[in-house]
Amino acid sequence: MTPQTIPDLDDIKIFTGNAHPALAEKIAGQLGLSLAKSSVRSFADGEIEVKLGESVRGKDVYIVQSTSPDVNRNLMELLIMIDTARRASADRISAVIPYYGYARQDRKVAPRAPITAKLVANLITTAGADRVITVDLHAGQIQGFFDVPVDNLYAAQVLVDAFWQCRECSLDEIVVVSPDAGGVRRARYLAHLLGRHIGGEASLAIIDKRRSGPGKVAEVNLVGSVNGKTAIMVDDIVDSAGTMSVAADKLRDEGAVGVYACITHPILSPPAIQNLGKKCTIDPTIDRLDGLIVTDTVPLRPDAQECGKIKVASVSHLLAEAIANIHGRGSVSSLFPDVEAYN
């Protein structure tokens, strides 16, 4: 659905907080709109104040706000903006959260532990959101934490297209690697999309890792073969990049001639760039990664912007198409015709 075919385009209002205004501007531009005016600022003590600069009475409102660092502040901005739009009599409020923070806390992994992903879902719903639009949820079951519709969009095609433009190998020389057993479906889907360029599917491998603590890997094993091939690790989040660094070393050790990573959410908390920029521990003449392809669901940190190995692909058109279909009462699942075979 294009901007020309969206009914009542004037009824759409797109607002943004301070998390990622550049992405919000791209989304609005894809729809042929300008961002709606708003003010999101702080008092001296850090208390957040929100003012909408345009009427939203009877409008279809979309608030674009990733819960990227500073996670808690950006989440609070989102909640207040939703409440503001609700009290201003918006007809429908959709929270567009390209990166849904706290998603890694989706279950109890120990006694007396919270399920924070559910808590955040409750907060967003209570604030007044009628719908949530997000990209590559860390755990699909989080959709069930909400009592409102959730559209979980897939960034795989965006990542595949970006990789294909910078690749230096053919499809039969590629193996897609899942960093853990839980990511196999994501890896299979990406392998399928890679196959569209030539036909067939890329082969698969799985990293079997044992953790000694959060973000710390004690042991890594490889299921499958990467010898003589270019390995593409695929995951939804890269935070400190500790796991990715260990996995990249393992792939090199197992004979991979190239190692890339396709990641949706580049959180890249320190020391991620230092970890990824180091040489392979197996052969200090070789870089750990040949390239890191990410999307712009969160803005890159300054040190990541200076890293020459990172290629950013935008999900703005994906989010814009979803908004257009939702507003026009169309299908969102039609944007991903093959994904059901891999769920």
- Per-residue pLDDT tens over the stretch 196-241: 766 677 889 999 877 666 656 667 889 999 999 999 999 999 999 9
Which residues participate in catalysis according to the annotation?
209
- 280 φ, ψ (degrees, to nearest 5): -65, 135
Is the bond into 283 cis (omega within 30 degrees of 0)?
no
Strands 230-238 and 216-223: unpaired
Please give the pLDDT value at position 243: 84
How sure is the predictor about 10, in pLDDT bands with cuts at 50, 70 and 90? Answer: confident
Q: What is the mean pLDDT of the chain?
A: 91
**Spatial separation of the C-alpha atoms in residues 178 and 290, rounded to whole Å:** 17
Does pLDDT of 177 surpass 90?
Answer: yes
Range 13-28 average pLDDT: 98
Question: Of 218, 229, 314, nearest to 266 (Cα)?
Answer: 314
Calculate the CA 76 to chain-centre distance: 20
Does pLDDT of 63 surpass 60?
Answer: yes
Question: Of 87, 12, 85, nearest to 52 (Cα)?
Answer: 85
**Spatial separation of the C-alpha atoms in residues 318 and 283, rounded to whole Å:** 40
- Residue carrying structure tokens 């990406």: 190
**Spatial separation of the C-alpha atoms in residues 52 and 265, rounded to whole Å:** 29
Please give the pLDDT value at position 66: 97
Q: Which two tokens stand for residue 6?
A: 């969206």
Q: Strand, helix or coil at 314?
A: coil
Residue type, 274: Q
Question: Of 274, 218, 209, 279, nearest to 241 (Cα)?
Answer: 274
Does pLDDT of 325 surpass 80?
Answer: yes
**Spatial separation of the C-alpha atoms in residues 211 and 205, rounded to whole Å:** 19
Q: Which of 167-176, 224-233, 290-299 is predicted least confidently?
A: 167-176
Please give the pLDDT value at position 226: 94
The CA-based angle 307-309-315, given to 5 degrees, is 95
Please give the pLDDT value at position 65: 98
* Half-sphere exposure (Cβ direction) of 49: Cα atoms closer than 13 Å: 7
**Spatial separation of the C-alpha atoms in residues 262 and 258, rounded to whole Å:** 13
117-140 pLDDT tens trace = 999 999 999 999 999 999 999 998
Q: Which two tokens stand for residue 297?
A: 């669901």
Does pLDDT of 81 surpass 60?
Answer: yes
pTM score of the predicted model: 0.93
- Distances in Å between the Cα of 23 and the Cα atoms of 16, 166, 329 are 9, 23, 24
How sure is the predictor about 114, in pLDDT bands with cuts at 50, 70 and 90? Answer: very high
The more confident residue out of 215 and 297 is 297
Please give the pLDDT value at position 7: 64
Range 89-99 average pLDDT: 98
**Spatial separation of the C-alpha atoms in residues 208 and 220, rounded to whole Å:** 6
